[in-house]
Amino acid sequence: MTSERVQIQKRIRIRQAAAQDHLPDSLSPLLRRIYLNRGVGDASQLDLGLASLLSFHSLKGIAAATELLVQAIEQDWHILVVGDFDADGATSTALAHTALTRFGATRVSYIVPDRFRFGYGLTPEIVALAAEQKPDLIITVDNGISSIEGVEAARRAGIRVLITDHHLPGSELPAAEAIVNPNQPGCDFPSKVLAGVGVIFYVMAALRAELRRRGSISDEITLGDLLDLVALGTVADVVPLDYNNRILVQQGLQRIRAGRARPGVLALCRISGRDVSSMGAMELGFFIGPRLNAAGRLEDMSIGIECLLGQSDDAAMALAQRLDDLNAQRREIQEQMQQDAEFLLRKHGPAGKQQFSLCLFDPEWHEGVVGLVASRIKERYHRPSIAFAPSGESGVLKGSARSIPGLHIRDVLDAVAARHPGLISKFGGHAMAAGLSLQADQLEAFGAAFEEEVRGLLREDDLEPVVESDGELAGNELTLEAAELIATAGPWGQRFPQPVFHGRFEVAESRIVGGRHLKLSLRREGGNGLIDCIAFNSGEMKERVSRGVLLAYRPEVNEYMGRRSLQLVAEHIEPVS
C-alpha cells in the first residue's frame, strides 16, 4: 500500500428500507424511516422488554449444563470459572461468579489465562494451573469450543468441564460433560450472535429456573441486576445487535442510567467522565470497554474482574482508577505502534500491484495491542488487515486480524490452513475478527497465502468503503430535538448502526482543534442558521473545504458547560465548490 492511498475515497449509499411496514402510526416519521432502513418493519420488534427475550430451552446442551450445575451446588463442588482476557471474558467471569454464589455455591473461584504466557482458551497448561486448586468442575466462559486437548487434560485429571462459548467451532468438538454454544452443530437457538456473556447469562437463567422448580431458591433471587454486565460485554465484543441482543443491551443500559448498576460498572462510567444518566451503547463501546480491556492487554484481567465484582464504591473506584491508568498507557503504546505501521506501509508498499490484504509485523510491537492496530489499519485502508507481534514463546508470532464487510476472516484462515498444512499453528475467531499464531519464519509465506485467498473472495469494488446513509434530513429535522430522539431510540451498534445522513453544506468557518481534528461551522445551502460539525482526524482537509462540503454525518447532542446543542459528527467529508 503506497502512501498516496492514505485517503481512501468513500461512496455514499442510501440504505434500503424493509419491504413491510407494520410500525405504529404514532411513531415519528424520522424514526419510522430509520427503523425501516434497518429491516425493522413490525411493531413487535420495538418491544425491548425482558418478556420478549428468546427462551433458553432451545439452546443445545442447556439441560445437561443445568443438571451438572445443580449437582455441583448440591454436592458443594469446587467450581472454577476459566475466563478470557477481554471485556466479554471479564463480564462473563464476573456474572458466572456472582450468580453461582447467589444460587448457593459456596466454593467458586476463577482464573484468567495470562495471554502472554498461556495464550487463549482452556489449554493443557491452563488445566495444569487450574488443577493446583483441585476443582471438581471447570466452567469456561467466552472460550473453550476449540479446547480439545485442554478438555482431555482435564478429564485425565478427574475434572469435569462445562463449556460456555460463542465462538465458531471447528470440525471436532471437545469431549466436555456439556457444551452450550449457539453456534455448535445442531443448536436451534435462533440468535447465533450472543456474546460470551450472553451465553453464560442464559445458562444461569436456566439454572435459576431449575433451582426454583426444585424449591432450592426463592422467587426473590433474580438475575436482572446482572444485565449491566451483559450489556457491557455484548457491546464491547462488537457482536451484531440483533433483536435479542438489543433487548439485553437496552435492559442493561436502563439499569446503568438509573444508577442501579454494579459499583464497578458505575465507577468505570465515572472515571471515564461519562454521565451515567445518559449512558448509551456507544459510550459503553468507546469509553468503558477499552478501560476494562486495558487490563488484559497490558497486565492481568483479574484487575478488571475484581472491579466488576467489587461490592463497595470505594474499592470499585480504586480499581477503576488503576484501569484508567492502564488505558492511558495502552493509548501511548498504540499511538507509537500506529506510527510504526504507517511507516511500514510507506516503506514496503507494492509497486504497481494493488494489494487486497495487509499483513504487518514489527519485532518491537506489543502482543496485547496488535488487535487495535489491525483495526485502525483496516479502517484507514479498507482491507482485511493482520498485525503480528512476537509472543512469549521463542520464534512464534501472534497475530490479530480484522476484516471488512463481505469477508469472513475466520473462514479465510481456515481455508489457508487447509491449503497449506502446518503454515498456521492455531487460529480462531469470528466473521470480522480473529487471532492466530505461526512460526516467525513462516510470516512471508503466510502473507502470500492470505493475499491469494482474499483475492479469490473479494472484488476491487469491495475495497472501496461505503458509507450507508439514511438519506437527507429536511430543515425541520436537523434539530437538537431530532438528535435527542435518535439518542434514545437505540441501542445502536454492530449491524444496527447509529443513523447517518448526508447533505451539502456551505462552510462559514473552519479551524483545527486538538492538533488534528477539523471543526466546522456549516450552513444548509440556502439556509441562515449555523450548525457545528466535528470531523475527527481530518485536519488536512481544512484548505480543501473552505467553500462547501458534501457530508455524511451523525447528528448528536453536544454537552458543554451545562449547555446542550446540536453537533454533526462527520463520517465522510469531501469538498464541493
The overall average pLDDT reported for the chain is 92
Cβ contact 384:346 at 8 Å: no
For residue 352, the model assigns a pLDDT of: 35
Within a domain: 312: yes
Q: Which residue has the higher pLDDT, 278 or 82?
A: 82
Within a domain: 13: no
**535 and 570 part of one domain:** yes
* CATH value at residue 401: 3.10.310.30
**319 and 363 part of one domain:** no
**125 and 239 part of one domain:** yes
For residue 537, the model assigns a pLDDT of: 85
Cβ contact 375:338 at 8 Å: no
Within a domain: 270: yes
Of 381, 349, 387, 351, the residue nearest 368 (C-alpha):
387
pLDDT interval class at 3 (50, 70, 90): very low
- Asked if omega into 491 is within 30° of 0 (cis), the reply is yes
* CATH value at residue 510: 2.40.50.460
Least confident residue range of 31-35, 347-351, 357-361, 459-463 = 347-351
45, with CB counted inside 10 A (0-12, 13-18, 19+), is middle
Of 495, 491, 413, the residue nearest 454 (C-alpha):
413
First to last CA, the chain: 30
Helices (H) and strands (E) in the chain, counts: 17, 17
**190 and 289 part of one domain:** yes
Average pLDDT over residues 121-131: 93
Q: What percent of the chain has pLDDT over 70?
A: 97
Domain C-terminal end among 325, 357, 387: 325
CA 366/CA 260 separation, integer angstroms: 37
Domain C-terminal end among 463, 493, 520: 463
Residues 6+ apart with CB under 8 A from 78: 107, 109, 133, 134, 135, 136, 137
pLDDT, tens only, 282-291: 999 999 999 9
For residue 263, the model assigns a pLDDT of: 97
For residue 17, the model assigns a pLDDT of: 86
Of 371, 454, 387, the residue nearest 115 (C-alpha):
371
**414 and 448 part of one domain:** yes
CA 208/CA 77 separation, integer angstroms: 18
**474 and 386 part of one domain:** no
For residue 475, the model assigns a pLDDT of: 82
pLDDT, tens only, 166-212: 998 988 999 999 999 999 999 999 999 999 999 999 999 999 999 99
Average pLDDT over residues 124-146: 95
Cβ contact 550:570 at 8 Å: no
Of 294, 359, 347, 281, the residue nearest 321 (C-alpha):
294
Q: Which residues are registered as beta bridge partners of 178?
A: 162
Average pLDDT over residues 456-483: 92
Least confident residue range of 17-26, 276-285, 403-412 = 17-26
**84 and 203 part of one domain:** yes
Domain C-terminal end among 440, 463, 486: 463
pLDDT interval class at 252 (50, 70, 90): very high
pLDDT interval class at 348 (50, 70, 90): low
Within a domain: 9: no
Within a domain: 341: no
Residues 6+ apart with CB under 8 A from 336: none
**Cα 164-167-169 angle, rounded to 5 deg:** 95
For residue 351, the model assigns a pLDDT of: 37
205, three cell numbers: 437463567
* CATH value at residue 139: 3.90.1640.30
Q: Is residue 320 scored above 90 in pLDDT?
A: yes
pLDDT interval class at 349 (50, 70, 90): low
Cα 551 to the chain's mean position, in Å?
A: 27
**481 and 561 part of one domain:** yes
Q: Is residue 234 scored above 90 in pLDDT?
A: yes
pLDDT interval class at 2 (50, 70, 90): very low
For residue 1, the model assigns a pLDDT of: 38
548, three cell numbers: 462547501
Q: How far lies 487's CA from each of 208, 234, 260, 341, 546, in Å?
A: 34, 19, 21, 35, 30
Instruction: Please state the domain count of the chain.
Output: 3
420: how many CB neighbours lie within 10 A of its CB?
17
Average pLDDT over residues 83-110: 96
Structural domain containing residue 90 = 51-325
**223 and 355 part of one domain:** no
Average pLDDT over residues 317-340: 96
**129 and 249 part of one domain:** yes
Q: Is residue 527 scored above 80 in pLDDT?
A: no
Within a domain: 32: no
Within a domain: 25: no
**185 and 267 part of one domain:** yes
Average pLDDT over residues 29-41: 95
Q: Is residue 353 scored above 60 in pLDDT?
A: no
**251 and 192 part of one domain:** yes
CA 429/CA 231 separation, integer angstroms: 21
Q: Is residue 355 scored above 80 in pLDDT?
A: yes
Within a domain: 5: no
For residue 7, the model assigns a pLDDT of: 46
